[in-house]
Every structure is written in structure tokens, then in C-alpha cells.
Amino acid sequence: ETGVTQTPRHLVMGMTNKKSLKCEQHLGHNAMYWYKQSAKKPLELMFVYNFKEQTENNSVPSRFSPECPNSSHLFLHLHTLQPEDSALYLCASSRPESIEQFFGPGTRLTVL
């Protein structure tokens, strides 16, 4: 149990659908992250939130919309995705400025 949970674990959606990924951490951290993991590519940082404020948006297309209502929860809202958006989406959390990030198990997203 890493203390970071993600739901759903698997998601299949069409390009016109709207869905949301959820991440929850039970570690008392104040920084949360979204990463995209595609095969044979480096893990890509998408968004960073510190104390509920977005501090990093790594040129992510607007069809991905993050939301951080409090320090324990992070969402990634998805709409009109493309097949190339199919990937494993990982959430992580940490204390701000900590050297260690704790990762959830990820949501495997398939866009048809």
C-alpha cells in the first residue's frame, strides 16, 4: 500500500466521451502530480500542484483539465481525446521540495 490510490485502474473511452481520473493520497502531502507514461518514451510530467495551486503545466493540451480541490485529491478531466492519448496516467504526491515522490498504480487509458 503506497498511500496513493487511483481510480479507475482501467478506462476505455471514445474520442467524444468525457471522463475523469481520480487520485487520492493518504500521506499528508501537499504536492501532487500527474504523469503520462507511454511505451518506449520517458515518463512525462504533465501538471504539478503545490498547496492546491497549479505550479507547473508542461504544455499539456487543453483536452486534459486538472483539478485539485484539496491537498488530498487530484482529478484529471478528459474530453475529446485522441488515440495517441492512450497511455498509463500516473499520479504522485510528495511534501513540497521533498526528494521523494510517492506514486499511485496508475490508470491505463485506451482511447478508441
Partner 1 sequence: GEDVEQSLFLSVREGDSSVINCTYTDSSSTYLYWYKQEPGAGLQLLTYIFSNMDMKQDQRLTVLLNKKDKHLSLRIADTQTGDSAIYFCAITGGGNKLTFGTGTQLKVEL
Query: Would you count residue 110 as binding partner 1 (CB under 8 A)?
Result: no
Q: Which of 54, 57, 98, 110 is the binder for partner 1 (CB under 8 A)?
A: 98
CB closer to partner 1, 66 vs 94: 94
Query: DSSP of 11-30, one letter per residue?
Result: EEE-TT-EEEEEEEE-S--S
Q: Considering all CA atoms of the chain, what is the largest pairwise distance in Å, rounded to the nearest integer?
A: 39
Give the range of 11-19, 65-73, 78-86, 95-103 binding partner 1 by CB under 8 A.
Answer: 95-103
Q: Which of 28, 96, 110, 112 is the binder for partner 1 (CB under 8 A)?
A: 96
Q: How many residues bind partner 1 (CB under 8 A)?
A: 27
Before 8, cis peptide (omega within 30)?
A: yes
3-class secondary structure, 66: strand
User: Nearest approach, Cβ of 70 to partner 1 (angstroms)?
Assistant: 18
Residues 1-30 that bind partner 1 (CB under 8 A): 2, 4
**110 DSSP assignment:** E
Give the Cα separation of 85 and 69 in Å (integer): 24
Which residues contact partner 1 by CB under 8 A? 2, 4, 31, 33, 35, 40-43, 45, 48, 50, 56, 90, 92, 94, 96-106
